[in-house]
Amino acid sequence: MTHTIPTSKAARQALVRRLIESGGIHSQGELALRLESQGITVTQATLSRDLVDVGAVKVRDATGSHVYTTADAIEASEDTEQRLVRLCGELLFSADASANIALLRTPSGAAQYFASAIDANDDAEIVGTVAGDDTVIVIARDADGGLRLAQKFLDRASGVGHAH
């Protein structure tokens, strides 16, 4: 078989990005099959690392199914509040609070992307964020503002008003 795609990591990851951005990739298994159809076979561990490296996250599409996408594939035309409202609907699994901290749960691999959108929104009530793999800690400016922030994110996720 003649390969039209080099077997380098960079070329493989570029293909992974293109396949994801073309839409409709629901699982790593589906992505692996599409790669194989292009003549590239990878282990599950390599594919997982590639997904992290290309910044892939799972979001809900218009039909409610979870699909992979990349930050680059998200339209840049949204303002930061619109983007945050959309991401809350797509990525926020749950929110909890304690004192000046709101704890937000996301799908695995989405927390840093979500925290970046929160930071970009430049909310005066928020001092900053810390993100892990599936958890974002949002630090409120007020000593008892964590619960209010958690509710603000839950409201965005459910489409209840746009708190600025």
One-letter amino acid at 22 equals S
**Alpha-carbon torsion angle 82, 83, 85, 91, nearest 10:** 170
Q: How does pLDDT run across 69-83, given as a tens digit for each residue?
A: 887 665 544 578 888
Q: Which pLDDT value is given to residue 24?
A: 83
pTM of structure: 0.56
Q: Which pLDDT value is given to residue 74?
A: 59
Say which residue the tokens 């992974």 belong to.
Answer: 16
Domains of the chain from N-terminus onward: 9-73 (1.10.10.10), 80-158 (3.30.1360.40)
With H, G, I as helix, E, B as strand and everything else as coil, classify residue 26.
Answer: coil
Provide the strand spans (E) within the chain: 56-60, 66-70, 94-98, 101-105, 126-131, 135-140
One-letter amino acid at 113 equals Y
